[in-house]
Structure 1
Amino acid sequence: MKRPVVLYIATSLDGYIARENGDIHWLYEAESEGDGGYGEFYETIDTVLMGNTTYRHTFKLADHFPYPDKKCYVFSRSEQEPSPYATFVTEDIPTFIEKLKQQEGSKIWIVGGAEILDALMKSRLVDEFIITMMPTILGSGIPLFKEDNPELKLVLVGTKPYGQMVQLHYTVKS
């Protein structure tokens, strides 16, 4: 059985993951309960995927790398200096993910960037969507989904409120 690729992310009610300038501080303004299900989800994965911009941004948000116990792959258009936290990947995203899904392991988490998600969406490589709707309408910003994605039929696994937020969990219908 192939390892599932999971999008676990928060979005504004109008579908944005960040402001135009990449700012995500609005995510921390909502009234929440606990960690919003993050700890429970984190235990189900062993691999994280992200773009180089997201990777660099993690060091601005935290005092330490937030995923030290997970295998981390960072996609970049150019060669990068080696890192103790991540393996940099310059090959085609869908090709790399197809190989990764064949390996032994747990779920694979798409941490971010919009470009990574877009490549995986267009290749139909996302198996689960866990999206937390924030009680915010941004009006503009970086959209969760870009245009021209294939149509996907989803199956609702569940919903869960966390204070003012609601988490939606879907799998892709086979």
Structure 2
Amino acid sequence: MKKQRKLVLFIAQSLDGYIATKDDSLDWLFEVEGEGDNGYSEFSETIDTVLMGKRTYDWIMEQEKGQFPYTNKNSYVFTRSSVTDTKDVTFINEDIVDFISNLKKEEGKDIWIVGGGDILHTFLKEKLVDELIVTVAPTIIGEGIPLFKPDDYKLDLSLRSTRTFNQFVELHYTVNE
């Protein structure tokens, strides 16, 4: 029996739980002394598909000056509007649960939830996430975009491992069924 692909969150947050400032800045993250790429390359080898929301996609395209950084991966962007696919990205405007369930059944490596907070919230609430790899930066930014939005849902997790990358701490959790 073939192994079902996992949906994995790999993300960094401030110690107080934010993934970006109110104005979408990640400057605070790059001010922390890490180690190499803080495990990104190693993680990237385990996935062949990336998922993100349209707002995250737009932010990445602005930051990368129009050069999509995940050209070697199958890339899907969830949007409520009608957007034409590009050579690098397929835009998805369909039921998230059905789409993810079908994607997990396909052959391939694991699937990375790049961001952002809205799409992650839906994935968590619908219990679609299998693992969370959260790297915590020793920075408190006070307010911003939270990693986890308040709502009426609960996930039980098991700690798989911890690692440090200089000042960063990586927490790797498996979602209990």
Q: Normalising by the residue count of structure 1, what TM-score does the alignment of the two structures yield?
A: 0.96
Aligned to 1:85: 88
Structure 1 range deviating more: 13-22 or 146-155: 146-155
Query: How far 1:84 moved relative to its partner?
Result: 1.2
Distance 1:109 1:154, change over 3 A: same
Aligned with residue 166 of structure 1, among 151, 165, 169: 169
Do the aligned partners of residues 54 and 22 (structure 1) sit closer, same or farther apart at CA in structure 2, a change above 3 Å counting? same
1:4 aligns with 2:6: yes
Q: Which residue in 1 is equivalent to 2:119?
A: 116
Q: 1:26: how far off?
A: 1.3
Aligned: 1:15 with 2:17: yes
Question: Aligned pairs, how many?
Answer: 174
Cα distance in structure 2, aligned partners of 1:21 and 1:61: 13
**2:141 alignment partner in structure 1:** 138
Structure 1 gap ranges (5+): none
Deviations for 1:53-109, whole angstroms, at most 9, x for unmatched residues? 111111222253211110000011011122111000001222211111111111100
Matched, 1:127 2:126: no
Q: What is the one-letter code of the residue matched to 1:146? A: K
CA deviation profile, 1:144-165 (whole Å, cap 9, x unmatched): 0111252222111111110111
| 2:94 counterpart letter in structure 1 | E
Contact 1:94 1:119 in 2 (8 A): no
| Alignment CA distance shift 1:159-1:149 (3 Å) | farther
> Relative to 1, partners in 2 of residues 1:13 and 1:72: Cα closer, same or farther, differing over 3 Å?
same
Partner of 2:159: 156
Amino acid at match of 2:61: F
Aligned residue type for 2:73: K
The alignment partner of 1:83 has SS state of: coil
SS of the residue corresponding to residue 97 of structure 1 reads helix
Q: Secondary structure at the match of 1:78?
A: coil
Q: Which consecutive aligned stretches of 4+ in structure 1 deviate over 3 angstroms post-superposition?
A: none
Q: 66-75 vs 56-65, which deviates more?
A: 56-65
Task: Give 3-state SS (helix, strand or coil) of 1:125's partner.
Answer: coil
Secondary structure at 2:174's aligned position in 1?
strand
Identical columns (%): 52
Cα distance in 2, alignment partners of residues 124 and 53 from structure 1: 22
Task: Give the alignment partner of residue 36 of structure 1, picking from 29, 35, 38.
Answer: 38
